[in-house]
Structure 1
Amino acid sequence: MSNEKARSLNQDSYVIGLKQTTKALMKHNVQMVIIAQDVNIHILSKVLSLAFETGVPIDFRPTRQELGSHYGIEVNATVVALLK
């Protein structure tokens, strides 16, 4: 996704973090999951399982820092869910 497209998203169109992403996946309200590549995969096992079960595509960013700053937060982000 381009930076322009990400910046055009308002905060109601995505959630950040493991808990919020898991909740959105369980409600079948996610169109894509974006995961930082520098995260231990076992931390994301539930998110990955739910994404695969529901057919939600998964994209990756190189670092947690890059993912956080891409979505306008000043802390690292492990995972972001783009909502339907």
Structure 2
Amino acid sequence: MPDRPLRLLKSEKKAIGAKQTRKAIEAGLAKEVYIAKDAEHHVVERIIELCREKAINIVYIDTMDELGELCGIDVGAASIAVLE
């Protein structure tokens, strides 16, 4: 369960997309990660591994479109990282 209401995601500082999410985790900047359940496994697999290694909470959202909408973007997103 996220530690903030989902509607507040739009105002959070975040990294959007699998590549940017992975970079944020590797740089130690991510405090929570959101992953779309319908994202292709090979796209988010490394992100899930990194979150487990670094004990970062993962919140699963049903669809990429829903995750994009929660972030305030007009396209789907496989993952996002909420930054410190």
| TM bracket (short chain) | 0.7 to 0.9
CA deviation vs aligned residue, 1:21-61 (integer Å, no higher than 9, x gap): 11111111110010011112232111111111011000011
Q: Determine if contact 2:36/2:63 at 8 Å carries over to the other structure.
A: yes
Query: How far off is 1:5 after superposition?
Result: 2.0
Deviation >4 Å, runs of 4+:
none
The size of the alignment, in residue pairs, is 81
Residue 15 (structure 1) shift: 0.7
Mapped partners of 1:43, 1:4: distance in 2: 25
Provide the residue aligned with 1:58 in structure 2: 58
In 2, the alpha carbon distance for the partners of 1:4 and 1:66 equals 11
Distance 1:80 1:26, change over 3 A: same
Is 2:7–2:70's contact at 8 Å kept on the other side of the alignment?
Answer: no
Percent identical among aligned pairs is 32
State the partner residue of 1:75.
75
Give the RMSD, CA atoms, in angstroms: 1.3
Consecutive unaligned residues in structure 1, runs of 5 or more = none
- Give me the whole-angstrom Cα distance separating, in 2, the residues matched to 1:42 and 1:64: 15
Normalised to the residue count of structure 2, the TM-score between the two structures is: 0.87
Q: Which runs of 5+ in 2 are unaligned?
A: none
AA aligned to 2:11 is: S
